[in-house]
A and B are shown apart, each in its own frame.
Chain A
Amino acid sequence: MKTSAIFLMAMVAILSANFSFAEDDSMFILTLQ
């Protein structure tokens, strides 16, 4: 159930879009797809 919960949370968080955001000097880049 723990795995299912993680997956469902991820799916909800992503909504119906994939997107990425980053600035030139950022140390981390998060990409949602």
Chain B
Amino acid sequence: MSGYSKYVGCLSGAMFHDEAVIQSSITLTHNPSGLYGNLWGSYSPEDGFDSDYGDEIDYIAGINQDLGPVNIDVYYAYYNCYQLDRHGDGDVNAIGATVTFPEVWMLTPYLEVEYDWVVGTSEENGVMYRLGGSFSPIENLTADISVGGHGEIYGTCNEVASFARLSISYDLELVEGLILTPEVNFQKRVGYSEDNGGLTDDVIWGGLTVSYAF
């Protein structure tokens, strides 16, 4: 389970909610086919459940496989956005893929691409992508740099590069198996401003994930 100071779309870079959120997911993966189903939830405690765009439930099905040295994840997702009790208009269907390449000089590059089509408002359909790489300069510390862009999606202009982001996280093992991971994200808008058709903005947000493995 994770807590974040803001809800910023990982792929889009868009700010969905400007207050704290709690997010968690459940994934069931079949081995060795790599087929999986995932239920992902976001909850903003500020005004209660199903009160704003910090509240969201996603249903995802996909397949994750290694093809030679490359890992490929292909998925379909249904994003049930606020209002959660109303399925249909405003919700989002998505198909996407993440390709993770072999490590090069301590850097593990990846490319994420997703096409969204919005129920009831086809003019907001479009593609988003993010190209990045993660590296661990010292043990337990992970730094991730990425650049994201998109087509004409959600009523915005096409931005080849919309944002650049640096994320830093550190794994603290409190007791055996129990890991606390604080993170901080710095995002810089490199495309249009939101007033001029851009999708993203400058934002700094933090997160804290508690994990337990056994």
Contact = CB atoms under 8 A, between A and B. Distances in A.
Chain B interface, >50% SS class: strand
Chain A interface, >50% SS class: mixed
A18 to B, nearest CB: 5
B27 A31 contact: yes
Interface in A1-33: 1, 3-4, 6-8, 10-11, 13-22, 26-33
B196 interface: no
B43 interface: yes
A13 B167 CA distance: 29
Contact of B84 (A4, A13, A32): A4
B50 A4 contact: yes
B24 A11 contact: yes
Contacts, number: 86
A28 B29 contact: yes
B119 interface: no
A15 B1 contact: yes
B66 to A, nearest CB: 15
Interface string B174-199: 00001000000000000000000000
B85 A14 contact: no
Contacts of B214: 19, 21
A2 to B, nearest CB: 8
Interface in B16-58: 22, 24-31, 39, 41, 43, 49-50, 57
Nearest to B83: A3
A27 B147 CA distance: 36
A12 to B, nearest CB: 10
B70 interface: no
B210 A16 contact: yes
Contact of A11 (B2, B28, B41, B213): B41
A33 B212 contact: no
Contacts of B29: 28-31
A31 B27 CA distance: 5
Interface of B: 1-2, 22, 24-31, 39, 41, 43, 49-50, 57, 80, 84-85, 87, 178, 209-214
Q: Which 9 A-B pairs have the closest CB atoms?
A: A19-B212, A17-B212, A31-B27, A29-B29, A18-B211, A14-B24, A33-B25, A7-B41, A3-B84
6 contacts: A11-B24, A18-B25, A18-B210, A29-B31, A32-B27, A33-B26
